[in-house]
Structures are given as structure tokens and as C-alpha cells.
Chains A and B, each alone.
Chain A
Amino acid sequence: MATSETIFREYRPSDAERSDRSAGDRLRHRQKVRESIRENLADIIAEESIIGKDKDRVIKVPLRGIKEYRFVYGDNSGGASQGDGDSRPGQVVGKTGKEGPGKGHDMAGDRPGVDYYETDVTLEELIEIMFEDLELPNLERRALREIQSDYSTKRKGYRHVGIRVRLDKRRTAKQRVMRMLARDRSLNGNGAENGEPAEPPTEDDAPGLSALQPGAGPGLRKRRFPFHQDDLRYKHIEVDTREESNAAVICIMDTSGSMDTMKKYLARSFFFLLYQFISTRYRNVEIVFIAHHTEASEVTEEEFFHKGESGGTFISSGYVKALEIIHERYHPSLWNVYAFHCSDGDNFDSDNPIALKAGEELAEICNLFGYGEIKPLGSRYYESSMLNVFRRIQAPNFHTVLIERKEDIWPSFKAFLAKDRIKE
């Protein structure tokens, strides 16, 4: 011991920069996380508000796919740990299912532990993964992501005031000439004894716009005739508020049955696509969520996807509510209304005729009205289906779709949009 010398290696910042050897493994881990998110996408989308939210919003996503498994003891194993001095038998020291009290020390081979953690994902990333999951064609993806603003402007007349860039030089010069001629004429009328025709300005004609000088005295032969404030003409531009640029998306969903995760995922991604698509076409898009069972009410997105109520279903109630809202706030003459209704297809028979009538009415005032029946494969417990009932609606802009699995979403979405009253 005494013979060997202890070595101290000094800290070198350059080492610190170079020695990020975990970078590769971190990257690989990140990829695994992404895969894991993709696998759990249904759960995540089903639980997150994504419709009409800021793209940069960060979502916490729980990760389950990348646990490292090994043989460990299960719940029935107790343990020993240290108390605070007066432990008595019968004292409760922890909860099973979570962690035993004997965690703390990081011994390998310890109980399973919380190998479960969260990662942050931006909404944009999540949507990208969703598009991958729904197998959207690449081109369509871009169209949906980039909101092409339908923002057009139109020239509409001229004004005396405005910003410099919109100055119309030609018109301004004309005005000046007109003013000059008018003045000459009036001078000629007043002092005819001079008999001199008014001379066009020979001098510097350059628009000395800021140097506003009143016209020189009538006795001067050689006069400058500068621009005057009154000569200035500005182009006037108006934002084109086309009526079509207002759209309202009305999402109606049946909350009576239990919406399980898969149904929620399917419904939410469909609504999301719809909203996203409408947003690319219209400048001003508003969205309304109507949840209904036997009664309908307008709710927030949060409630929309999380309210599960038992009881019967009157589909008509949702439609009546939608009609009510449209009449109140989104008059069809000013708004393009897109309504879509998701349901598991279970309705009281007695309600069917009323629903049919309300549906027809909706189809009449909406650009597009759709009914989607979500029946994930394997959940055929409801044999009744509204698809047959709604088949009777003849309106060309009404469309029904059946969504059984996530692969159906994109094709049915496209089929739905094809019925749009306003073709591109």
C-alpha cells in the first residue's frame, strides 16, 4: 500500500463533452419509447384531448412496453425493514400492489419496483404517430398538418389615407395633374388680362411628397407645383370574408353505453381527423361537442370522451340539440356546418322515427352529415344497428360508415368527405 502512489486525474471539460457515450444507447432507448407509444396509442389518444389543441402542448405518456423483466418474488412475499422506534404488530406500513416498505435500497433482484414511468411527447409527435398508426397516405398527412389558410384579399377602391406601401403612384400623379389643371383654369378665369396659359410644370416633377408647399404666387412664371396631401391615393385592400370560410364542426356522441378505450380511440381519432381537415379548408372553425343518452347536452372535449352514462338512448335527443345549436349560433347562411355522430348503434325502437326525421332535417342544413357506427371487432353484443334505419335518409350529403377497427378510419373518413356539398 505504502509503495504505490494514488493517482488523481483532473477534470477536463473536453472529456466531458467527448465522453457522452450513452448517446447511442439513449437514442436506441428513445426509439423503443416511440415503439412503445405506438403500441399504446389507442390508450393515449383515448385519454388525451387532442382536438383543436396547441401543437406544442406536451403530453405525459406512460410507458409500459420497455420493462425489463426477470424472475422476482410476487406479492405474497413479506420482508423486513426498520421502524421508527415503536413498531407494533398489526401496524399498517404500506400498500400491496404498489411497493413494499422495504424498497429504498437498490438491491438487484429486489421486488418488481416501479419500472413504469412517463415521458413527454409533444402533441405534434403524437399526431404524427397516430397518422402512422392509421396508415394515412403521406400526401394526405401533409395536407392535414399544414393548415393552408384560406385567407384571400381583394382590392376595393382607393382611400386618401393609408400606409406607404399601398400608395398608388399613378393615381396620385393623376390627382396632382388634375388639381393643377383645375387651378390653372380658375386662374385663367380670374386674371384673363394676363392671357397666359398655364404652364405645365417644367421643373422637378419628382414627388417630393413630404415637402408640401402651397402653390407659388400667381405672378410667377416659373412655378413649382408640388404634390399636396390631397393628391395622395392609396389602394384599399379588404380581407375577403367569404361566407364559406366559417365552419362549425358538430360532434355528437352517444355516451350511454360504456365507451371502452378502443371505441374512444376510434371515435376520437375520427373526430380529430374531421376537425383537422375542416381546419385546413376554413379560416374560422368552431367545434361543438354534444353528448347524449336520453337527453343531450353540450359538453367540453374532456367530458365528451369521459362521460360514460348508463341508461337508454334517444339518438333524436342529440340531433335535436344539434339543430337547436345550429339555429342559435351557426346559421347555415353564414356557416358551413359539418355534423358527425358516433354511436354504437343501440337506440330505443320508439325513438327511431323521430331520430330519422331529425336526421333528415340535419342533413338539410348541414354541408355534410354523417353517422358512424363504432363496433370494434368482437363486440357484437348489440345486434341492433342504426345503419338500417338511416339507410332511409335520401339526402346526398348524408353518409353512414361502419368502423370496426382502426384501419377502417381512414377509408371511411375519405368516403364521408366525398359527399361534401361543396366540392373543391
Chain B
Amino acid sequence: MSDLSLDTSSKVSAYDLEDLVEWDRRIREKVDEFGLDCFPQEFEICDHNQMLGYMAYAGMPSHYPHWSYGKAYEKLKTLYDHGVTGVPYEMVINSSPAIAYLMRDNTLLLQILTIAHVYGHNDFNKNNFTFKSTRADLTVETFKAHALRVRRYVEDPSIGMEKVERVLDAAHSLHLQCRRNLAIRKLSPEEQIERAVENAQPRSDPFQKIHARPERVEPDLRRVPTEPDEDVLLFIRDHNPYLADWERDLLTIVDEESKFFIAMIETKIMNEGWATYWHKKILEALNLEQGLHLEFLVRHNQVACPIPGQLNPYHLGLRIWEDVYRRWTEPTAEEIKRDGAPTKPAREKLFEIREVERDVSFLRRYLTEDLLRDMDIFEYEARGENYVVSKVADDDGWRDVKETLIKNVGTNSIPVIKVEDADFGQNRTLYLKHYHDGRDLHLEYAEKTIAYLQRLWAREVVIETTLEGKKSLLCCNDRGFSVRALK
């Protein structure tokens, strides 16, 4: 799913469905010509209320009920009614066939632009490796099945809304604490033990006669989990014996859905950039008549303009894709000296990147110093009451700026917290560790979230973290929340 939103005043639409079908045919011609590889596409025309509804439920035609979606709806509606934000032009669901919603009130040009944009997303979702772990052909059915199951629990007189909400509230607060790179297979517990045993074996050393013998560290095979586990919800599901079946099922449902969102979070900049890149290409190739073309320029700029003080993923993504294309077609002499001459056609390179990268690697590899400087990307930090620019993309600072940028895209903006021990102190205390990278946890949020963890685990929960440079333990048990310093 993605959305492309702008504030816009809707005009009377002087076109009908036939026109759209005809434009779609022309766009698809171009799509094939450019070699984009898409799922079958379905468009649904909707009005703004329906669009708000779809947005609240992440675009899903069916989704399980929870008050947070009602809240999302109210919020969107308030913003929309007050004219703070417009309704997105479109919305694409990562499924096969790809479903996209088109706003009924949009102008013809917006519909054309949107259709082209949607094909960009469609191609990306089908081919990027991140999305391979989500079964696109089953997306809609999966969500439907989830909705059905949750509804059944709500209607079950022995469970009911209150209890379901208790679990869902807690699960929602933890749903992003899961594995980030879904392309890496998670080892089963047996395989993990195997690996631990293997790692404990002494390395074969050709110079072992002169080297001191490495001390053999016995692997702790009795600890659960053998390797730190990032899938917090799944871990609790599998290791809290007091959960009822329906509670386990709810955790599974939430986890499955978050896998779906992780893929989107991981590729936001690439995906939006890619779709923007292709809608631009396609519309330029369509030879639009002048009126439409001028509107296209205006709309395209609204979408892909830089927003000072923020990062517009459409802008950032588009700039990198265009830069890659340029560097692989007409690199400057300097670039050839630095990177070597391009070895493959530019378009092939583009398709390769869209398949094998995610935002983090995409930025690391293809966001150059020149581009950083050109876009005036800076790093800021908190000083006292203000956020102050600490580094800009000059000769000294650009690497740090880039590092900081990468630290904040995709799932990097979610703290890494892993389950280390399910039976800490032989007390069935759940011990988790926050892998601190210089950024502290927000304590108020941590306090509330750890309470949810405790609710699901039903025993004491401890998180090891660093607060203002000091190792600390956040504890949550029946007596409440406390922070303890660790020596």
C-alpha cells in the first residue's frame, strides 16, 4: 500500500469510465514498452469518504475491527474536514491482483497520473525482494480470514470485545518489534542449537602449534531462546504456556499483518521514488495535449517537491533513481574515475536495484555526496530546547549526515529489542535487551509499552537498555514500573 496525497480542490470530472479504460490502455502500452513487470491490476473508483475508510484500514477491503482504526478514521476525517490534508489520489494494496482506489472527484489528468503511478508501485511490489515474503496472491484472503477470526472471538460469549481488545491493544503496541529483513530465513530452534554447537567448535588453525589454545566456551543450550529473538509477539505466543488458543491466534494475526507493513516501511523511499520516476516517464511518453501536460507539470511538482525541514520520500527517491539513471548513461569523467565505467545498460541497472535493495541499502549505495549536497540534507540534534543543525553535507560532514539519514529510514527508526531469556533468574522473568545505538528509548512510551509486554507475558518483564549513557534496567511487574541502574 502506498498513498500519494496532495491538497487539491476537486474539479468537476468531465470524463467517464470509458475514457479511463482508454487511457489505461495507452498507459499499459508504455508500461510494457518500458519493461515493467506488473501483477494484474484492478482499479476501484471511490468517493472521498470511502477513501478515508480505506486509509484508516491501511487500504484493506476487509480488516478486523479495533477501535484504533476508528480513531485513525476520525483523525483523518478531522484533518480532511479542516482542509489540513487532502485525500490521497490513490492507494495501492500490495496484493495480486493489485488493487488501487481512484478518487472519483479527481481531474482526468490526476487519474492518468495516478494510474501510471500505480503501475510503478505494482511493478515494485511484485519484484522487490522485501515483498517476496508476503504472499501477494493471498493478501486479500488473509486479511479477510483474520477479520473473520477476530469477529468470531468478539462474538464468542466466553471471550467478548473487552478481552479481545485487551490482547489486541497490547499486541498492537508491540507489532513492529519483529524481524526486519524478511528475506533472511529465521532458523528453527533445532537449527539454532546446531549453530551454537558448531560455533563452539574450535576453529581449525594451521598454526595451532604456536598459538595459544583458545578457551572453549560451552554454549548454553538450555537457555530459551538460543539466539536472541526479535519476534517478540511470536516468542510470547510460543513460550507463554498460560495463553489461551484464541489469544495465541490474535498474536499470530497481528504478527502476520505487521510482516506485511514491515515490507512497506522498509521500502518507502525506493517505492515512492520508483512510482514517481515511472509516472513521470510514462506521462512524458504519452504526448499529452498542452492543457493536460501543463497540469501534469504542476501536479508532478506538488508531489515531488522538496519540503524544507522534512524529507519527502517522493522527492528523495525520485532524485536517487534519476541520478542512477544518469550515472549509468552519461557519467562525468570524475565519476568514471571514481566508480569505473558503467558495465550494464542504465535501465537494466534500475531494474536490478529495484529488485535487490531496500531503503537502507539503497541510500547507502546510491545516495552520493553530490546528491546530498545538492539536496541540502543536514543532520540535526537536540541542544537544550532546540533542534540545531549539527552537520551539513560538506566535505567533513557528508558521511555523518548520510549515516544519520540511514539511521532514520525504514525500520531503523524502530528500536531493536530482542528477547534474550525467557526464564531469567529461574523466575520466568522475560529478559529483553535493547540494542542501543546512541538513541535512548522514550521513557514514557517505554513504560506504557512494557506494561503491555507484561500483560501478554503475565510475569515480570525486564528490558536492558542505556539511559543517558548509563546501563539501566526497566522492570515491570505486579508492583508497577521501575528503572534500576546497572553497574
Residues on A lying within 8 angstroms of B by beta carbon are 1-2, 4-11, 13, 15-16, 19-22, 24-32, 66-97, 100-105, 107-112, 117
* Residues in B whose Cβ lies below 8 Å from that of A76: 382, 439-440, 468
- Over the window 372-386 of chain B, the binary record of Cβ atoms lying under 8 Å from chain A Cβ atoms (1 yes, 0 no) is 000111111110111
- A–B complex contacts, Cβ < 8 Å, 6 sampled: A28-B67, A28-B70, A28-B161, A89-B390, A90-B389, A101-B380
With A2-B32, A85-B376, A107-B409 known to touch, is A11 a contact of B104 (CB < 8 Å)?
Answer: yes
B445–A112 touching, CB < 8 Å: yes
A244 to chain B, nearest CB (A): 49
Q: Please name all residues of chain A whose beta carbon is closer than 8 Å to the beta carbon of B70 when the two chains form the complex.
A: 22, 24-30
Contact A107 B413 (CB under 8 A): yes
Q: Which residues of A contact B307 (CB under 8 A)?
A: 82, 104
Choose one: A30, A71, A89, A107; the contact of B415 (CB below 8 Å): A71
Residues of B near A72 (CB, < 8 A) are 414-415, 441-442, 445
User: B388 near A92 (CB under 8 angstroms)?
Assistant: yes
* Contact of A75 with B42 in the complex, beta carbons under 8 Å: no
B13 vs chain A, min Cβ distance (A): 11
Q: With an 8 A cutoff between CB atoms, is B405 at the interface?
A: yes
Asked whether A108 lies within 8 Å of B176 as measured between CB atoms, the reply is: yes
A239 to B73, CA, bound (A): 54
Chain B positions within 8 Å of A68 at CB level: 68, 71, 172-173
CB distance A108 to B261 under 8 Å?
Answer: yes
Contacts of B65 in A (CB 8 A): 24-25, 28
Chain A residues positioned under 8 Å from B50 (CB to CB): 15-16, 19
- Known contacts A79-B379, A88-B392; 7 further A-B pairs (Cβ under 8 A): A1-B37, A8-B45, A11-B104, A24-B70, A74-B443, A78-B379, A102-B311
CB of B389 within 8 A of CB of A8, answer no
Of A8, A29, A79, which contacts B21 at CB under 8 A? A8
Known contacts A4-B40, A20-B53, A80-B379; A29 and B74 CB within 8 A of each other: yes
Inter-chain contacts of B172 with A (CB < 8 A):
68, 70
**CB-defined contacts of A110 to chain B, threshold 8 Å:** 413
How far apart are the CA atoms of A16 and B48 in the complex, in Å? 10
How many whole Å from A299's CB to the nearest CB in chain B?
Answer: 35
Within 8 A of A (CB), among B408-432: 408-411, 413-415, 417
Measured CB to CB, the closest approach of chain A to B465, in angstroms, equals: 10
Residues of chain B contacted by A24 (CB below 8 angstroms): 65, 70
- Residues from chain A with a CB closer than 8 A to the CB of B391 are 89
- Residue-by-residue, is B132-156 near A (CB-CB < 8 Å gives 1, otherwise 0)? 0000000000000000000000000
In the A-B complex, list the 7 residue pairs whose CB atoms are closest, starting with the nearest: A104-B310, A25-B70, A29-B70, A78-B381, A109-B414, A74-B442, A77-B439
Q: Are B387 and A101 in contact (CB under 8 A)?
A: yes
Q: Within the assembled complex, what's the spacing in Å between the Cα atoms of A103 and B74? A: 21
Cβ contacts under 8 Å, B17 to chain A: 8, 10
Q: Which B residues form the contact surface with A (CB < 8 A)?
A: 17, 20-21, 24, 28, 31-32, 36-38, 40-47, 49-50, 53, 56-57, 62, 65-71, 73-75, 78, 97, 104, 161, 172-177, 261, 265, 268, 306-313, 315-316, 375-382, 384-392, 397, 401, 404-405, 408-411, 413-415, 417, 434, 438-443, 445-446, 448-449, 452, 468
B387 & A100 in contact (Cβ 8 Å cutoff): yes
Taking a contact as CB atoms under 8 Å apart, the answer to whether A117 and B75 are in contact is yes
Closest Cβ–Cβ distance, residue B159 to chain A (whole Å):
16
**What residues on B are CB-neighbors of A91 within 8 Å?**
388-389
B62 CB, nearest partner CB in chain A, Å: 8
Q: For A2, what are the chain B residues with a Cβ–Cβ distance below 8 Å?
A: 28, 32
Instruction: List the A side residues contacting B38 at CB < 8 Å.
Output: 1
Contact partners of A88 in chain B: CB under 8 A: 389, 392
Q: Which A-chain residue is minimally distant from B79 (CB atoms)?
A: A117
In the bound assembly, the distance between CA atoms of A67 and B41 in angstroms comes to: 37
Q: CA A324 – CA B29 in complex, angstroms?
A: 90
**Chain A positions within 8 Å of B68 at CB level:** 25, 29, 68
Q: Which of A7, A21, A95, A112 has a CB less than 8 Å from the CB of B442?
A: A112
Take A22-B73, A73-B440, A78-B387 as given contacts and tell me if A10 and B32 are in contact as well, using a CB distance cutoff of 8 Å.
no
- Where chain B touches its partner, the secondary structure class is mixed
CA distance A8 to B16 in the complex (A): 11
Are A96 and B28 in contact, CB atoms less than 8 angstroms apart? no
**B74, B377, B415: the one within 8 Å of A26 (CB):** B74
- CA A97 to CA B444, docked complex, whole Å: 13
Q: How far is the CA of A32 from the CA of B381 in the complex (A)?
A: 36
By the criterion CB–CB under 8 Å, are B386 and A92 in contact? Answer: yes
Q: Give min CB distance, B380 to chain A, whole Å.
A: 5
| A105 with B310: CB separation less than 8 A | yes
Cα distance, A302 to B209, chains bound together (Å): 88
When C-beta atoms are compared, the residue in chain B nearest to A76 turns out to be: B440
Complex contacts, A66 vs chain B, CB 8 Å: 67, 71
A22 and B56 contact, Cβ closer than 8 Å, known pairs A70-B174, A73-B415, A107-B265:
yes
A6 to B: closest C-beta gap in Å: 5
Q: Are A95 and B387 in contact (CB under 8 A)?
A: yes
- Asked whether B53 lies within 8 Å of A22 as measured between CB atoms, the reply is yes
B104, A80: Cβ atoms closer than 8 Å? no
Shortest Cβ distance from A76 into chain B, in angstroms?
5
Please tell me if the beta carbons of B268 and A82 are within 8 angstroms of each other in the complex: no
The answer to whether A7 touches B41 (Cβ under 8 A) is yes
Contact B46 A16, beta carbon cutoff 8 Å: yes
Specify the chain A residue showing the minimal Cβ separation from B313.
A105
Does A93 contact B40, Cβ atoms closer than 8 Å? no
Rounded to whole angstroms, the CA-CA distance of A34 and B154 in the bound complex is 21
Partner of B380, one of A69, A78, A109: A78
The residue on B at minimum CB distance from A78 is B381
Q: What is the CA–CA distance of A10 and B24 in the complex, to the nearest angstrom?
A: 14
- B387-A93 in contact (CB<8A): yes
Distance A81 CA – B405 CA, assembled complex (angstroms): 8
The residue on A at minimum CB distance from B411 is A109
Q: For residue B382, which residue of chain A has the nearest CB?
A: A96
